A and B are shown apart, each in its own frame.
Chain A
Amino acid sequence: QKEVEQNSGPLSVPEGAIASLNCTYSDRGSQSFFWYRQYSGKSPELIMSIYSNGDKEDGRFTAQLNKASQYVSLLIRDSQPSDSATYLCAAYDTGGFKTIFGAGTRLFVKA
């Protein structure tokens, strides 16, 4: 069974700090990875995608991918209370033609 694992949290950080969210995936053949943010009562929205080893930055967000370790992370710099949400890590299962989601990490940013 192909899986994406995340620490469910909650992860609590003070406003202005760096929030670090991590996940691991089991399918070594996965090539595409995504981070989604889901506010309570809302649908998931894509915030980052990453396909190559290394870092990818977009504003306050940096996604990191290490295929050898099967590890994906998301850093949120200068965290804001509005970043408080559940963050879902996802990996695309090429053989199964589907995206596998982790259970999500709840992030709280304290003002």
Chain B
Amino acid sequence: DTAVSQTPKYLVTQMGNDKSIKCEQNLGHDTMYWYKQDSKKFLKIMFSYNNKELIINETVPNRFSPKSPDKAHLNLHINSLELGDSAVYFCASSPQGSEQYFGPGTRLTVT
């Protein structure tokens, strides 16, 4: 029974396109996150939602827009994709202030 799931697992697209990544957790956690892991493997937080409310919005281009329809779902929409957006995007959930549970990741390649 998957705890944090993401779709799609792989995403290959061209510059300028718009794409979405979906995330769902069945752990009952209040907080969900989006992270970006670049080619150097550094894991950087992008957004955090607590009970559907945005609580963290790091310095991320406004081409990235998260949406949380309910506390079990956190989606990420990216407009006008650029080459530099190529990375692995991880969704995670946690009880506030505690350990995080990561989804399997979405490998985005922009050509």
Q: How far is the CB of A94 from the nearest CB of chain B, in Å? A: 7
Across the interface, do A45 and B43 meet the contact criterion of CB distance under 8 Å?
no
Across the interface, do B99 and A34 meet the contact criterion of CB distance under 8 Å?
yes
Complex: A32 Cα to B41 Cα, angstroms: 22
Across the interface, do B101 and A88 meet the contact criterion of CB distance under 8 Å?
no
A-contact 0/1 string along B41-58, CB 8 Å cutoff: 111110010100001100
Interface presence of A62 (CB below 8 A): no
A-contact 0/1 string along B91-111, CB 8 Å cutoff: 000101111111111000000
Across the interface, do B40 and A46 meet the contact criterion of CB distance under 8 Å?
no
What B residues does A45 contact at CB under 8 A? 102
Q: In the complex, which range does the number of interface residues on chain B fall in? A: 20 to 34
Choose from B43, B50, B56, B105 the contact partner of A101 (Cβ within 8 Å): B43
Query: What count of chain A residues pass the 8 Å CB interface test?
Result: 20
Across the interface, do A86 and B90 meet the contact criterion of CB distance under 8 Å?
no
Q: With A43-B105, A96-B56, A97-B55 given, is the CB distance from A49 to B99 under 8 Å? A: yes
Q: With A96-B56, A97-B48, A98-B56 given, is the CB distance from A43 to B41 under 8 Å? A: no
Choose from B48, B97, B99, B103 the contact partner of A46 (Cβ within 8 Å): B99
Across the interface, do A92 and B56 meet the contact criterion of CB distance under 8 Å?
no
Q: How far is the CB of B107 from the nearest CB of chain A, in Å? A: 9
Q: With A97-B55, A98-B56 given, is the CB distance from A44 to B43 under 8 Å? A: yes
Q: Which residues of B contact A (CB under 8 A)?
A: 33, 40-45, 48, 50, 55-56, 90, 94, 96-105
Q: What are the 10 A-B residue pairs with the smallest beta carbon separation, nearest first?
A: A43-B102, A101-B43, A46-B99, A103-B42, A43-B105, A44-B102, A98-B45, A98-B56, A49-B99, A43-B104
